[in-house]
Structure 1
Amino acid sequence: MAFVSPVPLRPRSTAVVAAALERGGAVVALESSVLAQGLLPPHNREAADRMMRAVQAAGATPAVTAIVRGEPWFGLESEALERFLARDGVRKVSARDLGIAMADSADGATTVAATLAMCTLGGIEVFATGGIGGVHRDAPFDESADLVELARTPVIVTCAGAKSILDLPATLERLETLGVPVVGYGTDELPGFFSVTTGLRLTARLDSPQAIARAWQAHRALGRTSAMLIVQPPPADHAVPVDIVERATVAALEAARAAGIRGAAVTPFLLADIQQRTGGRSVQANLALLENNARLAGQIAAALHS
């Protein structure tokens, strides 16, 4: 049989998202893995509500990305959203897993990498998440697929830096090597996800959504095909001091090693363990930063379409 080059698949969309895309409106992608594997119920429902409201308040349309019974979707209908929030047989899907999840007719919650891959199919330029993956502390050869996808996917990504369980200096160096611009929004240093400060200086800072939109347009005009990573610290009133986060992280990593936790199960285990060790403060910080990042993404998307 002769090889036939496949036509790129266009994800399905809810009516609201489809209407926004059709009129060329501001749309913000949101990952679903934070809801199905990251935050536990009922916090995941609160996160979904807060993120979507924040995007809408900024004048944009939120689009949660997912594989729903084998089909890629922007936006989740109520029945599908309930399954994902209940974690009812939903697998964690990175970029490499998208085709397999589709072939299996599975429900798949998209990671940062998978959401980036889907954004290119749907023509969405702005994506909000909590924290990206990066270089792991104990095994520097173990890097998140997020880094490679950021290097080859032209999308603006708002986040609170890389997750605090990672090797943050190494992650920042890898982003530089991969040619991904990292821009501080109202900050001169890389945030620590749960924490405001890390001491890691950035080379670029912008202080308004409009300035970010202009920088993005210049980035694209130069033919650059990487993402632009916009990092902002969590809201100060919910941030956790960096020394508390570091102690909890070191202890959680040791607990994961002792329990033999590996692969995709590591991050959810660590975040849950850190939640316990910080008395729930990390969860409140996570909810606040997710909402904050979604709001900024909505403002940037609106600026791009003004």
Structure 2
Amino acid sequence: MTQDLPLDLSDEVKHALDRGAPVVALESTIITHGMPYPDNVSTARAVEAAVRAGGAMPATIAVLGGRIRVGLSDAEAEALGRGTGALKLSRADLAFAVATGRDGSTTVAATMICAHLAGIRVFATGGIGGVHRGMESTLDVSADLDELGRTPVTVVCAGAKALLDLPRTLEYLETRGVPVVGYRTDRFPAFWSRDSGLPAPLRLDSAAEIAALAAAQRRLGLGGGVLVANPVAAADEIPGGEIAAHIDEAVADAVRRGIGGKAVTPFVLSRMLELTGGRSLRTNVALILGNARLAAEIAAASAG
């Protein structure tokens, strides 16, 4: 590891990496922008517990005082969850937070970058960003997609967030050469829903097969990551036909209020919480826990 990197690993994470044990990176935007307090902190802790139960070491990533922290203490997670001043960091502003000594939570793109710097190959999140609706006029495309095309980290998610233009998101991923794998499904999931109405480009049915795919990608020098789309459990999903009207209303509200860029997803998630009477939050928690468990299996298969 390069000595001059502003990178601090917790003792647990460092010990696990040094002995080649499985490690799973976790993002911190769920703590600062994804859920209300105290659900944000309790969910972050439950996700870490799910990774541990799967036999891997959790490594929640954030930037604190300009230092990239890989593995947060309970006190650090609590401070992030209670606070309001943390930046939402992607590739474009990660270096800014480091240079100015700021605090920030990491999106999918920033978490991938930091995980790769730390030597972590597997990352669990809720849903990735993608091509936003109306992209032809706004040019709003999440940096997550380009990061998947360049950074060799396997990302386990419940598909792309359903508020996005999902056909264009899949097309963009194909253009960037990203393998998109449906885990035990032929359908591409859409975050709260198991089926977006779109086919999954690839299918694999075990963590070992996914680990083998990522290893083959590295051996071939193809670069970039692997996207694993793990549908939320059937008992926890909100079917697409049921939630579509709520998504349309939340997105329309964002447009009416002039909300754009990074602020769109947190606003829509918050609005969905209201529109579904809290049901979207329960599904959100269920899907991230499922992704954490699968990521731990993949990390263990990769380390074995």
TM-score computed with the length of structure 2 as normaliser: 0.96
Is the CA contact 2:6–2:67 (under 8 Å) kept in the aligned structure 1?
no
| Aligned-residue RMSD, C-alpha | 1.3
Measured in 2, the distance between the counterparts of 1:11 and 1:252 equals 38
**Is it true that 1:299 corresponds to 2:304 in the alignment?**
no
Paired with 2:247 and 2:84, the residues of 1 have a C-alpha distance of 28
SS in 1 for 2:262: helix
The equivalent of 1:28 in structure 2 is 24
- Written as runs of structure 1 = structure 2, the 5 A alignment for 1:1-306 is 9=5, 11-140=7-136, 141-306=139-304
Kept after mapping to 1: 8 A contact 2:60/2:72: yes
Contact 1:37–1:87, Cα closer than 8 Å, also in 2: no
The 4+ residue runs of structure 1 with deviation greater than 6 A are none
Equivalent position SS for 1:236 = coil
C-alpha separation between the residues in 1 aligned to 2:144 and 2:283?
A: 22
Deviation of the 1:41 alpha carbon: 1.2
Task: Tell whether the 8 Å contact from 1:10 to 1:122 is kept in structure 2 after alignment.
Answer: no
Q: 1:17: Cα distance to partner?
A: 0.8
How far did residue 79 of structure 1 move?
A: 2.7
Q: Percent identity?
A: 47
Shift, 1:244, TM fit? 2.1
Q: What's the CA shift string for 1:29-50, capped at 9, x where partnerless? A: 0000111111111211221122
> What CA distance in whole angstroms lies between the structure 1 residues aligned with 2:260 and 2:44?
27
Which segments of 5 or more consecutive residues in structure 2 lack a partner in the other structure? Answer: none
| Cα deviation digits, residues 100-132 of structure 1 (max 9, x gap) | 101221111000010111122111100000000
Higher strand share: 2
How far apart, in 2, do the equivalents of 1:78 and 1:280 lie?
26
User: Aligned partners of 1:38, 1:8: CA distance in 2, in Å?
Assistant: 32
> Does structure 2 retain, via aligned residues, the 8 Å contact 1:26–1:304?
yes
Distance (whole Å) between structure 2 residues aligned to residue 134 and residue 214 of structure 1: 26
Provide, for residues 56-108 of structure 1, a one-character-per-residue CA deviation record: whole Å limited to 9, x for no partner.
01110000011011100101123321111113421111112111101221111
1:7, CA displacement in angstroms?
7.2
- Contact 2:89-2:107 at 8 Å conserved across structures: yes
Aligned residue pairs total 301
Q: Which runs of 5+ in 1 are unaligned?
A: 1-5
CA distance in 1, matches of 2:176, 2:31: 29
Q: Is the 8 A contact 1:25 1:60 kept in 2?
A: yes
Q: Residues 272-291 of structure 1, C-alpha deviation per residue, up to 9 Å, x if partnerless?
A: 10111111111111000000
Q: 1:175, 1:300 → 2: CA distance?
A: 21
Give the alignment's TM-score, normalised by structure 1: 0.95
